[in-house]
Every structure is written in structure tokens, then in C-alpha cells.
Amino acid sequence: MVLGACAVWSLITATAHEGRPEGVLLAVLAVAAGYSAGRICGALLPVAAPCAGALAGLALAVAVPQLAPGPQIDGPLGHAGATAALLTLCAGGACCAAWAAEAPGLRYALGALAAGITVAAAALGSTSGFVACVAVLLCSLAAGRMTSRGPGLAGLAGAAVITGGMTWAVAANRLPSGLTASLAGALTEHRVQLWRDALRLARRNAAVGVGPGRFGELSSTATRTLVPDGRPHSALLQQAAEQGVVGVGLLAATFGWVLYTLWRSARPTPVVLTAGAALTALAAIAAVGNALSFTAVSVGAGLLAGLATARPLAEASPRQETDVRPRDDRLTPGGP
């Protein structure tokens, strides 16, 4: 229902302002397809499926660093956020496979794979990917000592809210000047100006936004860029500018739905919390970057959520009992 509402609202806002909803519809389809595939593969192969997904994502990040055709935009904007997000999901998938494995040797091997993905992030020059992978590894180790998943998922939700709030505060220039200058240096002044353009558009069109895909046309900062991509490089602010308050609410509802399904999942708590940590790291990267604009990242996010919420099939079905009596045990007219 949440994904369907995202698709319908993008069509409504596109109709109101002659926008282009194709990107949003593709992202919704990618998440739904990845989630469905994850539920199926996780039920059949709870260990092999996340391991194969992690290896496939790592191979994609190494072989196709841009993750999409088109001109390479100079960092730190460009495709760096997508690579970091993909590697983070890969590390989360490897850790989930490790916790799902029963043999100690296999568990250590899959843990080594997760550590190798973290090293690969550093080797590829993705600083944010390295930091996010390390965070996922630490959260996964901590998850092994937790008996209740509720507090862990609540903490992850709080971390996502803080990240989104910081992004909004930087765009609105509500932080102390020293902290704002420090963050602007790390994020680049160009990205901060894009965020402020997005916030100005959101305030002017709070109800339905300016329409999907129209930020690049209306942002003065984006039009002055030599190689513009038409996005503010923040999923939160892009939703606010292009789809208004309702769009932001639907984006938050999607993340909340993911955490709720993880809370209800029948998988072990370490698997659930590890997947939640990876998806929260993805949300943080998407709040300050352009990661969700890449189909591979959207599919990977849905796939990891599906793997962590799948119900593995029992290896042997329970023996059905029957109350049928043997043929020679017949009731007699005078019997009981």
C-alpha cells in the first residue's frame, strides 16, 4: 500500500505541474521487484542468497563504478554516493548470511567476506562507503549480543531521523555558523546551495511540490552547473521540492514500513538488526547524496529487506498424524 501510494502521488503531482514521474515509478518498481525476489530467495536459500547478492553487488561496484550510463560528475557529487550505498548493502548482506549460517567455519568465512567488502570500499576510494561498512560491521557484532530487536530498531529509526533533521537544518541555515561552515566544507558549497534551492521550492509549493523531475529546471544553482543532473543530491529535499509534504511523508512511511516488517520478521534478531543497520546507513547516504536515483541501489535495498523478512522453508515438513484406524480394527455391532 505504501509503495502504491508513492506511485499514485507521483502521478498526481506530475499531472498538477507537468512533471516527469518515470524516475519515481522506476524506483518503486525496482524496490518492489527486489523485495519480492528477496522474499523468495530468502525462503529457499537463507544463507546462499544473501551471500550471492553481496558478491554480485561487489562485482558490480568494481566492474561498473559509475553504476549508470552518462557523463561522470566530479566528486563528491556524482556517483560516489551510489557506490557507497551499494557496498554498504553488500556488507549488510554478507553479515546477514554469516548470522544465518550454522557451521562456525562458514560463519567466519562470510564474516571475512564482509570485512573484505569494507576493505574494497577503501580501495575504491569510497570514504563514505568505508565508514558506512564499518558501521554496519560494528552494529552486526553488537546485534549478536542483543536478545530484543525492538530497542535496536528504535535506535536505528532515531539515527535516521537525526540524519534527516541535520540535512534540513543545513539547508535552512539553522545551525551555528561554525558548525555550518564545517559541514559545508565536507559536503561542498555546491551541494549546500542545491539543498537551499530545494528548500525554497518546497516552501513555495508545500502542498504538491513543483512536480517530479522539475528541480533541474527551477533551481538556479543546477542551471549554472556545467554537467547538471537535475537533482538536489538529497532524497529528503528532492521529495520536499518535487512532491511536497505528502511526498516527504510517504518517503518516511516507506522507511517506517521497512523497520516494521523487520520487527515482525521470523528471522533471528542478529539478521534483522544487521539488515536494519545497513538500510539505515543507506538512508543516511541518501539523505546527503543521490544514491536512490540508481536502479541498482533501489533493487539492492528491496532485496536486502526481502531477505531479512523471508520465512525460510522447513527442511522437512512435519509428519501429519491421522486418526484412521487399521483395517482389521473394525467396530462390531456390540462393541463400544
Q: Which of 244-248, 276-280, 314-318 is least confident?
A: 314-318
- Calculate mean pLDDT across residues 104-126: 94
Buried b (16+ CB within 10 A) or exposed e, 248-262: bebbbbbbeebbeeb
pLDDT of the residue at 322 = 39
pLDDT-derived band at 176, boundaries 50, 70, 90: confident
Q: Which of 229, 333, 335, 239 is nearest to 286 (CA)?
A: 239
* Rounded-to-integer distance, Cα 212 and Cα 226, Å: 22
Q: What is the pLDDT of residue 198?
A: 94
- Give the 3-state DSSP-derived string for 237-298, with helices as H, strands as E and coil as C: HHHHHHHHHHHHHHHHHHHHHHHHHHHHCCCCHHHHHHHHHHHHHHHHHHHCCCHHHCHHHH
Q: Convert the pLDDT of each residue in 296-307 to its tens digit.
A: 999 999 999 999
Torsion of CA 285, 42, 296, 121, to 10 degrees: 50
Residue 21 lies in a domain: yes
Q: How confident is the model over 53-93, as pLDDT tens digits?
A: 999 999 999 887 666 444 344 343 345 688 999 999 999 99
Rounded-to-integer distance, Cα 240 and Cα 210, Å: 9
Cα(38)–Cα(43) distance, integer angstroms: 8
Evaluate whether residue 227 is within a structural domain.
yes
Helix-helix angle 48-63:22-44, to 10 degrees: 140
pLDDT at 330 exceeding the cut of 60: no
Which set of grid coordinates corresponds to residue 293?
536515483
Is residue 335 one of the residues assigned to a domain? Answer: no
Would the pLDDT of 319 be above 50?
Answer: no
One-letter amino acid of 222: A
Among candidate residues 180, 293, 186, 304, the one with its CA nearest the CA of residue 235: 293
Give the pLDDT confidence score for residue 226 in this predicted structure: 57
Q: Where are the alpha helices (DSSP H) in 45-126?
A: 48-63, 80-100, 104-123
* Domain residue limits at 208: 2-309
pLDDT at 97 over 90: yes
Q: Would residue 327 count as lying in a domain?
A: no
Average pLDDT taken over every residue of the chain: 87
List CB contacts of 85: < 8 A, sequence separation 6 or more.
129, 132, 282, 285, 286, 289, 291, 292, 294, 297, 300
Percentage above 70 pLDDT, the chain:
87
Q: Does 65 sit behind a cis peptide bond, omega within 30 degrees of 0 on the bond before it?
A: no
At 331 the pLDDT is 41
pLDDT of residue 95 exceeding 60: yes
CB 102 within 8 A of CB 268: no
Which among 9, 277, 254, 246 has a CA at the least distance from the CA of 143? 277
Output 186 or 289, whichever has higher pLDDT: 289
Answer whether residue 144 shows pLDDT above 80: yes
Judged against a pLDDT cut of 70, whether residue 227 lies above it is answered with no
**Residue 318 or 294, more confident:** 294
pLDDT of residue 228: 61
In a domain, 94, yes or no: yes
End-to-end CA distance of the chain: 58
pLDDT band at 126 (very low <50, low <70, confident <90, very high): confident
DSSP track, 24-35 = HHHHHHHHHHHH
Does the residue 334 lie in any domain?
no
Q: What is the pLDDT of residue 78?
A: 41
Q: Let me know if residue 317 belongs to a domain.
A: no
pLDDT above 50 (res 291) = yes
Read off the C-alpha cell for 109.
568465512
- Which range among 84-98, 120-134, 269-283 shows the weakest confidence by mean pLDDT? 120-134
Query: Domain total for the chain?
Result: 1
CA pair distance 16, 251, nearest whole angstrom: 20
Residue 296 lies in a domain: yes
Q: Are 10 and 212 in contact (CB under 8 A)?
A: yes
* pLDDT computed for residue 69 by the predictor: 44
The pLDDT assigned to 111 comes to 96
One-letter amino acid for residue 271 of the chain: V
